[in-house]
Chains A and B, each alone.
Chain A
Amino acid sequence: MPDLRIIHTADVHLGAPFLFLGRKGKEQREQLKATFARVVDLALASQADLVIIAGDLFDRPYPGAELVGEAAYQIGRLSREGIWTVIVPGTHDAWRQGGAYDHPALRSIPNLHVFTAEEFTPFPVPGLDLAVYGAAWSGRRVNPLQGFRPRDGFRRRIGVLHASLRIPGKVEEDGVWVDRESIAASGLHYMALGHWHSLSGREEGGVPAYYPGPPEPLGMETEGEGVVLSVGLEEDGRAEVKPLKVGRRRFVGLRLDGALLGGPEGLYGHLRGMADPDLALRARVVRAWGEEWSRFDAGKLEEELSPLFFHLALEVEPGFSRSWEVEDFPENTVAGRFLRLARREMAGLEGEDLEVAEEALRLGLFHLAGGGQGPC
């Protein structure tokens, strides 16, 4: 049983737009709220001592009042149970006068501390013998841990930052940043990070530093999302970090090999097998070449299978023209000449022009073959 139990979340992005989800965006926004409520439920159920929100609780500095009201309600539930919540404003919800964190609904919550200063300042959490150090996100390129040495009488110290982790050669400074060396030298017992939308982290010189990623997925590009981190701090300062699943939806991006699927029927079967009303799937079919794919209508299949998913986007990677050898069609047939002409003209194309030409080829062959309800 740890001496101190902390729930660490970040990048909730309440009120975020989901342009790629179209009209399902609203549903996912509602889910963000529901998932945040689950985070609070989890904190209450696990009798956490502290909840840390490491930035971007909201998707914008001035969210709608109802959204602030919802967040305030949930944090208020923690407060009523005597659980402290500490928040650092992030890139999306940076502290602004009249903004989210300046709203009376949040300001009036007793057991809530929002770091509004850009300096890495301590907040002694009452009754926990714990100092939480945090800094509000600023547009300045700064490493708040640079030269940081805690000088306080507290038994335990935690840092909270909405910052990038600089990895030389891979990730450079981006606004507020930290690096492994400064984390290792910080003397903190746990470094709660936010900003990166994937679960990641490790111990840096004995200091565990973690990004929990968003508790509910925000996009296809993220990995390991949908969790919060349960951090147990032992009396000797050791921290045990465990991810706990709270997100409902899964956002998955897939590359499917058309050559292995054996045609549209195979693709249908594969996608049908993945059907899940909580799965947002973006499937990109590569090597959808050959005669069996000539009449494939990705739009139609997407429309047909969409009700089985939370969201389904189906794309076919260009390359259809490679399905055909010009010799497949005798030169004296219209199809043969069409194919040869198309191949010649496509030779110098790339990007969207190539995609248009691919579709033109597909359409031409489709109509020459007698057409039907949809394109090839």
Chain B
Amino acid sequence: MLIEEISLRHFKRFREASFALREGVNVVRGPNESGKSTLLQAVLAALFWRADSTRREVRDSVTWGEPGGMRVELKGRADGISFHLVKDFSARRAELSWNGRKETDPARIQDTLREWLGVGTEAAFRATAGIRHDEVDGIAEGGKELGERLQSALGGLEGGPGAFRAREAMQKELADLLRGTRGTARNPGHLARTEEEMEALARRRDELSRAVAGREEARRRLAEIGEESEKAERRLEVLEALIRDTQERMDIEEDVEDLQRRYRVMEASLELIEEDEELAGEEETRYAALREVLEEEKERLEELEKRRSATAERAAELSRRLEEAAAMQPRPWAPWVLAAGLTLVLAGLAGLTLSPYMLALCLAGCGLTALSLFPGGYLRFHSGGEKLRELRARMQELRAEEMEVLRCMEGVAARGGCASLEDFERLRRGYLELAARRREIAERLEMISTWAGERGKLEEEARKLAADAALRSRRWKELKGRTLDPEGLQRALAEREELKRRLDHLRAERVRCEVVLSGEGQEEELLEVEEALAQLGERRARLVRRARALELALDWLERASRDSLASVISRLEEMTGDYLGRITGGRYRKVTVEGEDLSMSVWSPEKGGEVKVDSLSRGTVDQLYLAARLSLVEIICGEKKPPMLLDDPFVTFDSRRLGKAMELIKEYARGRQVIIFTCGEHYDVYADRVVSLAPA
């Protein structure tokens, strides 16, 4: 492509300007701030900015103070055909006319321009067909810089470091990103740190989730416990009442029995007291004199009694002996039988005279006589009679003594108001019986009652007992309908125990639940942790995606770089050698490019071998670089021949180096267009056209 004229309107400092250019070397010269860079940018804008673009660069390019109207117009030739391009950025319109055709669609215009230039973007154009003022600086220092610059140009993006450096940068970024993810690292990368942080948070989240779930369970359980406890307590209350009533009923039953027993005792006591009182009255009325006599004549009576009993004993003894004696005496009928026997004998004998048969009578008399004499017959009867008489005499004495005693006693009895001793005895017996009865009563009262002698208290106590018993009875009747039988009571007691155990258990569980619920804020912390985790998760996903993207980009870049080099290197060697040979008069015609770093060497016929760039003179190195650089433009852009834009690249060169460099540029510019933007006049001698810009 060849630009023949560029016209600007309201483009930065140019309100209206037009510049004519031609094939070959064009030098745009002017001092600082004269608009060189603006013109360079205008060329790029004409070629690459879309007229409908809203990018800031477009907005910022409008001349200051002008509301719009920014326009760039280009006239020239492409593929031998004239074209006319107008881009009105303010109106966002464009028009490209060529070969009788007209295109107004900004996108299609760009497609056409790309077709003519071989490059579609400003960055790619600058990287290939643009040489910045700093690009050749330091080239002469050595081969490394030269290789790097070429890599950058081959990279295809302006200012880029080339594929090799780009890959290094990406590898470093990837390594930084992944450091510590496949093993331990002292300084882990973003991803490892994020994962560590996530792991820690996930652990915390799990802890909190368990705690929160536990709290929810505790809350639910607490409610259940409350309900169950309430039910159990209600049931327990019912049971307690039932048991209490049953036990009360049983107690009442026992108490009532006791009360009745005690009441009976009281009644008995009262009866006894009454009896005693009666007896006391009787004692006073009937036995007062006797009691006095008995008290006064106690000793005498005792003596008399002793004498009487002794007399009685002796009398008894004598009676016994009398009985014995009487028993010892022959039968009383013996004398009578003897007399009868003897009578019969005599009568018989007498009768014998009368009749022999009277002998029988005589014999019968003999028999009776014998019977009276045998055994204990009449003889013993006779001796016994003596003893009996003695005993009877002694008995009579005793009777007399007894009579004496009796008389004495009768005297006492008479004092006691008794007509006879029998009366006295009867009276005394009665008195003694009464006294014995009263003692018995006293003893019994003492045994059965506290208030043995206090009738009033006893009566009051009895009343109380009666009242108590009545009360209890009423209560018993009340309870009777709502109490349990013993078996039921046992069951109720067992149930009560079970309920108490259950309530104890529930109480303990309630405490456990309350302890679980005591830690506040766990729900909120869980949410915060989950939110932080979500955020970290997003970050991790971004980092992982970035790592994957870097790996993929590295792979693509390596393959792209390899393919690119494979297609470029042989042509680069050939074309660079050709250029170099032409400008060095054939001194250096063979160039070798090595490896990915594009390091170069040249064949030196003088030395008969490869010469590294470091061994060449500065001028030759400049020429070698420019030859390679321009070759790259040709290789990259093919037959398209875009205008070459040089932004004062040789400003630091001395005249000798400049001369050598410009020789090459002149050679390159044959059939092409090179536009050099510069401040000085040192390119003028090489220029086919000089555009002079006035100072601002």
A369, B160: Cβ atoms closer than 8 Å: yes
Instruction: Say yes or no: is B137 at the interface (Cβ < 8 Å to chain A).
Output: no
CA distance A64 to B535 in the complex (A): 23
Residues of the A chain whose Cβ atoms lie less than 8 Å from the Cβ of B523: 15, 63-64, 67
A-binding segment of B139-147, B407-415, B545-553: B545-553
Residues of the A chain whose Cβ atoms lie less than 8 Å from the Cβ of B123: 291, 369
A19-B531, A64-B521, A333-B156 are contacts. A98–B219 as well, Cβ < 8 Å? yes
Q: Interface digits, A314-336 against B, CB 8 Å rule (1 contact, 0 not)?
A: 00000000001101111011111
Nearest CB in chain A: distance from B552 CB, A: 4
CA distance A184 to B535 in the complex (A): 46
Instruction: Say yes or no: is A29 at the interface (Cβ < 8 Å to chain B).
Output: yes
Residues of the B chain whose Cβ atoms lie less than 8 Å from the Cβ of A365: 157
Interface members, chain B 592-645 (any A CB < 8 Å): 635-638
Nearest CB in chain B: distance from A331 CB, A: 8
A62-B216, A266-B56, A334-B156 are contacts. A329–B119 as well, Cβ < 8 Å? yes
Instruction: Say yes or no: is A292 at the interface (Cβ < 8 Å to chain B).
Output: yes
B160, A262: Cβ atoms closer than 8 Å: no
Residues of the B chain whose Cβ atoms lie less than 8 Å from the Cβ of A23: 528, 531-532, 535
Say which residue of A97, A262, A330 sits within 8 Å of B53 (CB atoms): A262
CA distance A362 to B54 in the complex (A): 21
Instruction: Say yes or no: is B667 at the interface (Cβ < 8 Å to chain A).
Output: no
A359, B520: Cβ atoms closer than 8 Å: no
CB-based nearest A residue for B632: A332
Residues of the B chain whose Cβ atoms lie less than 8 Å from the Cβ of A62: 215-216, 219-220
Q: How large is the interface on A (under 10, 10 to 19, 20 to 34, 35 or more residues)?
A: 35 or more
Say which residue of B115, B169, B527 sits within 8 Å of A367 (CB atoms): B169
Say which residue of A99, A328, A368 sits within 8 Å of B114 (CB atoms): A328
A62-B219, A359-B545 are contacts. A337–B531 as well, Cβ < 8 Å? no
Nearest CB in chain B: distance from A228 CB, A: 24
A66, B520: Cβ atoms closer than 8 Å: yes
Residues of the B chain whose Cβ atoms lie less than 8 Å from the Cβ of A328: 114, 119-121, 124
B564, A334: Cβ atoms closer than 8 Å: yes
CA distance A370 to B162 in the complex (A): 8
Instruction: Say yes or no: is B7 at the interface (Cβ < 8 Å to chain A).
Output: no
Q: Interface digits, A90-118 against B, CB 8 Å rule (1 contact, 0 not)?
A: 00000011110010000000000000000
Instruction: Say yes or no: is A286 at the interface (Cβ < 8 Å to chain B).
Output: no
CB-based nearest A residue for B561: A334
Residues of the B chain whose Cβ atoms lie less than 8 Å from the Cβ of A359: 545-546, 549, 553
Q: Interface digits, A279-291 against B, CB 8 Å rule (1 contact, 0 not)?
A: 0000000000011
Say which residue of A327, A342, A369 sits within 8 Å of B157 (CB atoms): A369
B155, A356: Cβ atoms closer than 8 Å: no
A17, B527: Cβ atoms closer than 8 Å: yes
Instruction: Say yes or no: is A172 at the interface (Cβ < 8 Å to chain B).
Output: no
Residues of the A chain whose Cβ atoms lie less than 8 Å from the Cβ of B567: 332
Instruction: Say yes or no: is B223 at the interface (Cβ < 8 Å to chain A).
Output: yes
Q: Interface digits, A254-266 against B, CB 8 Å rule (1 contact, 0 not)?
A: 0000011111011
Instruction: Say yes or no: is A220 at the interface (Cβ < 8 Å to chain B).
Output: no
Residues of the B chain whose Cβ atoms lie less than 8 Å from the Cβ of A357: 549, 552
Nearest CB in chain A: distance from B392 CB, A: 120
CA distance A65 to B517 in the complex (A): 9
B158, A369: Cβ atoms closer than 8 Å: yes
A329-B124, A360-B549, A367-B170 are contacts. A29–B527 as well, Cβ < 8 Å? yes
Instruction: Say yes or no: is B224 at the interface (Cβ < 8 Å to chain A).
Output: yes
Say which residue of A20, A260, A338 sits within 8 Å of B560 (CB atoms): A338
Residues of the A chain whose Cβ atoms lie less than 8 Å from the Cβ of B635: 332
Nearest CB in chain B: distance from A143 CB, A: 30
A261-B54, A330-B637, A333-B154 are contacts. A97–B220 as well, Cβ < 8 Å? yes
Instruction: Say yes or no: is B166 at the interface (Cβ < 8 Å to chain A).
Output: yes
Residues of the A chain whose Cβ atoms lie less than 8 Å from the Cβ of B216: 61-62
Instruction: Say yes or no: is A341 at the interface (Cβ < 8 Å to chain B).
Output: yes
Which of A29, A261, A262 has most B Cβ within 10 Å? A262
CA distance A36 to B568 in the complex (A): 71
Instruction: Say yes or no: is A22 at the interface (Cβ < 8 Å to chain B).
Output: yes
Instruction: Say yes or no: is A300 at the interface (Cβ < 8 Å to chain B).
Output: no
Say which residue of B118, B545, B560, B563 sits within 8 Å of A356 (CB atoms): B545
Residues of the A chain whose Cβ atoms lie less than 8 Å from the Cβ of B527: 15, 17, 25-26, 29
Nearest CB in chain B: distance from A27 CB, A: 11
Instruction: Say yes or no: is B159 at the interface (Cβ < 8 Å to chain A).
Output: yes
Instruction: Say yes or no: is A152 at the interface (Cβ < 8 Å to chain B).
Output: no
Instruction: Say yes or no: is A363 at the interface (Cβ < 8 Å to chain B).
Output: yes
Instruction: Say yes or no: is B557 at the interface (Cβ < 8 Å to chain A).
Output: yes
Residues of the B chain whose Cβ atoms lie less than 8 Å from the Cβ of A63: 523
How many A-B contacts at CB < 8 Å in the complex?
228
Q: Interface digits, B509-548 against A, CB 8 Å rule (1 contact, 0 not)?
A: 0000000010011111001101110110010001001101
A98-B224, A334-B155 are contacts. A26–B161 as well, Cβ < 8 Å? no
Instruction: Say yes or no: is B231 at the interface (Cβ < 8 Å to chain A).
Output: no
Instruction: Say yes or no: is A34 at the interface (Cβ < 8 Å to chain B).
Output: no
Instruction: Say yes or no: is B221 at the interface (Cβ < 8 Å to chain A).
Output: yes
Residues of the A chain whose Cβ atoms lie less than 8 Å from the Cβ of B538: 22
A291, B122: Cβ atoms closer than 8 Å: yes
Instruction: Say yes or no: is B336 at the interface (Cβ < 8 Å to chain A).
Output: no
CA distance A359 to B549 in the complex (A): 6
B162, A334: Cβ atoms closer than 8 Å: yes
Instruction: Say yes or no: is B182 at the interface (Cβ < 8 Å to chain A).
Output: no
Instruction: Say yes or no: is A350 at the interface (Cβ < 8 Å to chain B).
Output: no
CA distance A20 to B158 in the complex (A): 39
Interface members, chain A 231-287 (any B CB < 8 Å): 259-263, 265-266
CA distance A67 to B159 in the complex (A): 59
B522, A19: Cβ atoms closer than 8 Å: no
Say which residue of A26, A66, A99, A332 sits within 8 Å of B220 (CB atoms): A99
Residues of the B chain whose Cβ atoms lie less than 8 Å from the Cβ of A96: 220
Nearest CB in chain A: distance from B110 CB, A: 9
A22-B534, A26-B531, A330-B119 are contacts. A64–B524 as well, Cβ < 8 Å? yes
CB-based nearest A residue for B120: A328
Residues of the B chain whose Cβ atoms lie less than 8 Å from the Cβ of A332: 154, 564, 567-568, 635-636
CA distance A263 to B167 in the complex (A): 27
Instruction: Say yes or no: is B186 at the interface (Cβ < 8 Å to chain A).
Output: no
A360-B556, A368-B157, A370-B159 are contacts. A99–B128 as well, Cβ < 8 Å? no
Instruction: Say yes or no: is B222 at the interface (Cβ < 8 Å to chain A).
Output: yes
Residues of the A chain whose Cβ atoms lie less than 8 Å from the Cβ of B158: 369
CA distance A332 to B633 in the complex (A): 10
17 CB contacts below 8 A, A to B, read A19-B531, A19-B535, A22-B538, A62-B219, A62-B220, A66-B521, A97-B220, A263-B54, A263-B56, A265-B56, A329-B119, A332-B635, A334-B155, A334-B557, A356-B549, A363-B546, A371-B166
19 further A-B contacts with Cβ under 8 Å, apart from A25-B531, A338-B561, A359-B549, are A23-B528, A23-B532, A62-B219, A97-B227, A329-B124, A330-B124, A330-B128, A332-B635, A335-B124, A335-B157, A335-B560, A336-B156, A341-B556, A352-B545, A355-B545, A356-B545, A356-B552, A357-B549, A360-B548
Closest 3 CB pairs of A and B: A333-B156, A262-B54, A328-B120
Query: What residues make up the interface of B, taking CB atoms closer than 8 Å to A?
Result: 53-59, 111, 114-115, 118-124, 127-128, 154-163, 166-167, 169-170, 215-216, 219-224, 227, 517, 520-524, 527-528, 530-532, 534-535, 538, 542, 545-546, 548-553, 556-557, 559-561, 563-564, 567-568, 635-638
